[in-house]
Amino acid sequence: MSKELESAFTKLDDYTKLHSVNVQELAVLVAKIYGMNPADTEALKNAAKYHDIGKIFTPAEILLKQGKLTDKEFAIIKAHPVDGANLLKNLDQPQAYIDAALKHHEKLDGSGYPYKLTSKELPLDIRIITACDIYDALASARPYKNPLMYKEIKDILFKEVADGKLDRNVVSKVLAAGKHLKKEEIVRLYKDEKYMKYISPDVACDISDMIMKYGKVISPEEFKAMHKESGLMKDKGLAAPDFDTLDSIVKGISLAKNYYTHGIYGQGLGNKLHDIEM
Ligand SMILES: [Fe+2]
């Protein structure tokens, strides 16, 4: 990777930097799910990392604005695909990176920007980066919004599919990759691999959403509301402890984990969990 490109990357604001790395991580997982060859995976990985590089030219006060953007501000943001593509071209980067920067806001039905391209001009690598980009934007906190829960992200992405804007197959794989990353995040938080490997990715998503949505302080009422909302609590009546410390959240995870593994995901799994605990 060229030094100039890496130095350009460091000029991005912290949100965009983190977003770029997240999109990269997600895209690599999607490539793996597709069984993509190593060369194509490497190209996709870099293309994903630098897709928003044009934002180094977008004024920080617009990128980090708390409220709704004006039409004029949005028009300035919309310059980043062309700015990024030009920068990558000037730095003699591969066409795949240039295309990703230029086309990642295009949609299959021609409703995207900057050129209103349509499906035949949007190959698989671009479709993957576009869907990963939207997934991470929805899943991340921004100065003006909280992260969305997995189920909300799923609904939004499939609405885009239904509207003919995103590729159904790609979206399914991006959601599978996102679920996998959420599980890894819970493993990191819970710091207990041997235990967590018995948790299904679906359950990990719900627990991760609970933490993301409520942060470090959560009341028993909120905990119950969250479970009601997720549809997984049903009528099982799990008693929530007081979620007012980080420790109690970990306890909550443990409770939820036992509840889910024993209660919903079958006696076999519950027994397995019991075995490794003894
Ligand atoms: Fe972008």
Domains of the chain with bracketed CATH = 3-183 (1.10.3210.10), 191-277 (no CATH)
Interval between CA 26 and ligand 1 midpoint (Å): 15
Tokens of 153: 């992200």
Query: Which tokens go with 71?
Result: 């039409």
35-69 pLDDT, tens digit per residue, is: 999 999 999 999 999 999 999 999 999 988 888 88
| Residues recognised as catalytic | 55
pLDDT at 207: 66
- Cα 104 to ligand 1 centre (Å): 6
The pLDDT value recorded for residue 267 is 33
In whole angstroms, give the CA distance from residue 9 to residue 49: 9
What parts of the chain have a pLDDT lower than 50?
195, 215-220, 229-249, 257-278
Extract the tokens encoding 138.
Answer: 């929805």
The per-residue pLDDT for 82 is: 98
Q: What is the Cα–Cα distance from 244 to 64, expressed in whole angstroms? A: 30
Measure 30 CA to ligand 1 centroid, in angstroms.
19
Cα-to-centroid distance, 199 and ligand 1 (Å):
34
Q: What is the DSSP letter of 55?
A: G
- Interatomic CA distance for residues 23 and 2, integer angstroms: 20
